[in-house]
Amino acid sequence: MTISRPRRRATFVGGAPRVAASRRSATVWGLAALYGFVSAFGVAFLRIVAGSLVSGAGAIGGVALLFAFGVCVVFEASAFLLMRLLMQQTCPDRSSGGSALGVLALGAVADVVLNRVLVAAHAFPLFFGLVSVMLFCLPYPLAFELVVVRSRTRWAAAATVAVVLALAVGPIRSAQERLAVQQWYAAHPGLDRRLLQGVDWPGGEPDALEFGPFGARVTVFFQDSNIDGVSDAVVTVAPPDADPCGSIGITDGEGTRQSAPERCDRVAPGVWAVAAGDFTGRVERRGGVLLTLSVDSNRGSQDDLAAVARSLHPLNDHQLWPYLRTFSLLDWLVL
């Protein structure tokens, strides 16, 4: 007669199964975030190219947009295959293509919201540092938990992280902007901060701030400009005692430069009408500075320069951010 001994229940020291499960979950989250980054990069590339195209760019613009769409498709297909492979390895019974698409779609929607709320940069991942990239990858493992994993505990944890992320984006954004501006101020110790003023030019996208003997200068680009893609306007802010007929900003094939006006007529107290080449403009003493607005005359009467001048306002940390293009290593690591 064979006597079978009762099998002993395995014992583990230090909660080894729980540690192994935690490591497994952390690995899944990390891979889901990495594959989400692949998807987010594809969408961002398409958005960057589409947003930078000039309206009416013709065949060249069409080719560029088609190329960007192809790149986006490659990244999205790669992210889809990788995400589905991860599902097959972790939850084989819930690894359908629809689940993978659901994870990528939820993550993409969250990324679009974060891109509009978290920072003032134009598109992910340009001008984004380590912290921002990590935050932008976080929605994908959260979506993975909600779509694939059927565990109330894991759902509760994912929901908690999502709420914390939603509450944190505002303070994080403010801290990022404040740090970038402070670092930028430190790199420009002799800057006259009175010159840090901007205008609201309808349809215009400001480029980076430039400084020189002319004061502070910003080139403005319009999406409705001609096929040549040359920026169409220049905003110059100079000290109040500057000569209103000294120079105005113009753009040509070599970039933005100052040019002596061919015409400078006083049209009202503290207001001058100027012209140089193909550019016409308005000069005003306003807000403790001398403001010069110059625009390509090919735009016709699209712009009310008097209304643009009235919108002059000092730039706070949030408003100054879009005008910055250079950051230190510390900025990149934190932003």
pLDDT at 15: 47
Same domain as 161, residue 264: no
Q: Is the model more confident about 332 or about 104? A: 104
pLDDT at 14: 45
Same domain as 236, residue 201: yes
Of 151, 186, 221, the residue that ends a domain is: 186
**Residue-number span of the structural domain to which 129 is assigned:** 16-186
**Is residue 252, in this structure, part of any structural domain at all?**
yes
**Residue 10, Ramachandran bin (φ over 0: left; ψ between -120 and 50: alpha; else beta):** beta
The pLDDT of 41-60, averaged and rounded, is 69
Work out the percent of the chain whose per-residue pLDDT is above 90. Answer: 26
Confidence label for 78 from pLDDT (cuts 50, 70 and 90):
very high
**Alpha-carbon distance values, 323 to 144, 203, 208, 209, 223 (Å):** 37, 16, 5, 6, 18
pLDDT at 331: 64
Same domain as 306, residue 258: yes
Same domain as 87, residue 138: yes
**Is residue 324, in this structure, part of any structural domain at all?**
no
Work out the percent of the chain whose per-residue pLDDT is above 70. Answer: 79
Of 133, 164, 186, the residue that ends a domain is: 186
**Is residue 112, in this structure, part of any structural domain at all?**
yes
- The C-alpha atoms of residue 241 and residue 65 are separated, in whole angstroms, by 47
Q: Which amino acid makes up residue 260?
A: A
pLDDT at 120: 46
Looking at the structure of the chain, the number of domains it has is 2
**Is residue 142, in this structure, part of any structural domain at all?**
yes
**Beta-bridge mates of residue 8:** none
The pLDDT of 138-163, averaged and rounded, is 83
Same domain as 160, residue 53: yes
Q: Is a pLDDT exceeding 80 seen at residue 124?
A: no
The three-state secondary structure class of 213 is: coil
Same domain as 174, residue 54: yes
Same domain as 112, residue 21: yes
**Is residue 335, in this structure, part of any structural domain at all?**
no
Q: For 121-135, 142-156, 292-306, which range has the lowest pLDDT when averaged over its residues?
A: 121-135
Q: How many CB atoms lie within 10 A of CB 73?
A: 12
Interval 166-215: pLDDT, tens: 888 888 888 877 877 887 788 778 888 899 999 999 888 888 889 899 99
Same domain as 99, residue 30: yes
Same domain as 128, residue 21: yes
pLDDT at 21: 56
**Is residue 203, in this structure, part of any structural domain at all?**
yes
Stated as kind and residue range, the H or E segment containing 265 is strand 263-268
- The C-alpha atoms of residue 35 and residue 104 are separated, in whole angstroms, by 9
- Helix boundaries (H) for the chain: 16-52, 58-90, 97-117, 130-137, 139-147, 152-187, 305-310, 317-320, 329-334
CA gyration radius, the chain = 27
pLDDT at 12: 41
Same domain as 147, residue 76: yes
**Is residue 33, in this structure, part of any structural domain at all?**
yes
Average pLDDT over all residues of the chain: 80
CB 270 within 8 A of CB 286: yes
Interval 225-279: pLDDT, tens: 544 444 589 999 999 999 999 999 998 877 899 999 999 999 999 999 999 988 9
pLDDT at 22: 60
Alpha-carbon 145 to chain mean position: 27
Same domain as 276, residue 182: no
Same domain as 216, residue 115: no
**Alpha-carbon distance values, 81 to 24, 193, 316 (Å):** 20, 52, 45
**Is residue 76, in this structure, part of any structural domain at all?**
yes
Q: Is a pLDDT exceeding 90 seen at residue 122?
A: no
Of 186, 205, 225, the residue that ends a domain is: 186
CB 195 within 8 A of CB 289: yes
